[in-house]
Every structure is written in C-alpha cells, then in structure tokens.
C-alpha cells in the first residue's frame, strides 16, 4: 500500500457517520477482561434543556454491558476491500442507564435492536471523546507509457 495515509476526520464527519449507522461495537471491561460486542445503536442529538450527543442502545436488563464498568468505548467503521481504503470512528464515554417509563424515551432513544425480545434496558453512552480517521491511498502513477509509443 505505497502512498497510503491516515487523515483525521473532523467532528462533523464523525457525527455524520455515526448518524448514518445502525450497528457498532461496544467495548468495556468485565471481570478484569476486555470485551467487545456488536450492538445496534442510535445517535441521539439534543439541543433542548439538556443539550448533547449520545449513543443510545437497548439491551437485556442485567446483561454484561449493563453490569460492566461505567467507562466504555464504542466504534464503527467502513471499508472498501478492493481499494484498501476505509474509515473508523471511536467514541469514548460513560455508560448510563435511563428510565424506560417515558414514551419520549422510546421514540427518541430506541435503537430498534434486531433482536428485540427482552431488550428492555435503555443505555446511553455520553461521549467525552469522539475521534475518527480515514485511510486512503494516494493516486498511483501508471507504470505504462501513456503516449502510446
């Protein structure tokens, strides 16, 4: 991959990629061991009384995510294997459980999990860091003489 380079993504690009996605990976420490699990999510942005940006997930009550340490990582990525290019967004933050009694919670924070049965625990990740980067390959010069001679 001669000429490949990383380019940092700005905050707006990271948020746009997060908003477009539905599946990511959440990382946390459980019983002293790092764990990374795929999970459905929704990016939630609010400008109301409590402005902010959160990653919302819905999972089973009492599962390993809910019982893990509060500090977590969340990551999404995309790639083009033919071109050997891709991007990645990393969210680091704190995980909180939220009250699921409010109808507003369901409409605003529902991540619409693919496995919805028994997914009644509502969790939010409040980011303290959102970063991203893109790997792209610099244009290659052709090894052939383009003059046709």
CATH number for the domain including 79?
2.30.110.10
The residue that leads in pLDDT, 114 or 134, is: 134
Q: State how many domains the chain has.
A: 1
Distance CA 14, CA 132 (A): 6
Largest CA distance in the chain: 75
The pLDDT of residue 1: 47
Q: Is the pLDDT of residue 142 over 60?
A: no
For residue 88, tell me if it sits in a domain.
Answer: yes
pLDDT tens-digit profile of 37-63?
A: 999 898 988 776 666 899 988 888 888
In a domain, 79, yes or no: yes
- Examine residue 148 and state whether it is found in any structural domain, yes or no: no
Parent domain of 46: 4-137
Residue 147 lies in a domain: no
Give the model's confidence band at 24: pLDDT under 50 very low, under 70 low, under 90 confident, else very high. very high
78 to 21, 39, 135, 137: CA distances (angstroms): 10, 16, 10, 15
Residue 87 above 50 pLDDT? yes
- Residue 36 covered by a domain: yes
């Amino acid at each position: 991959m001669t000429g490949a380079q990383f380019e940092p993504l700005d905050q707006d690009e990271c948020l746009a990629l997060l908003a477009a996605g539905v599946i990511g990976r959440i990382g946390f420490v459980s019983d002293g061991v790092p764990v990374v699990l795929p999970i459905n999510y929704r990016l939630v942005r609010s400008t109301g009384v409590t402005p902010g940006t959160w990653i919302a997930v819905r999972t089973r009550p009492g599962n390993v995510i809910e019982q893990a340490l509060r500090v977590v990582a969340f990551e999404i990525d995309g790639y083009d294997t033919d071109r050997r290019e891709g991007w990645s967004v990393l969210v680091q933050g704190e995980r909180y459980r939220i009250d699921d009694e409010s109808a507003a919670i369901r409409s605003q924070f529902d991540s619409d999990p693919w496995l919805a049965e028994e997914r009644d625990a509502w969790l939010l990740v409040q980011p303290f860091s959102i970063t991203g980067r893109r790997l792209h390959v610099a244009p290659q010069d052709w090894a052939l003489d383009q003059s046709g001679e």
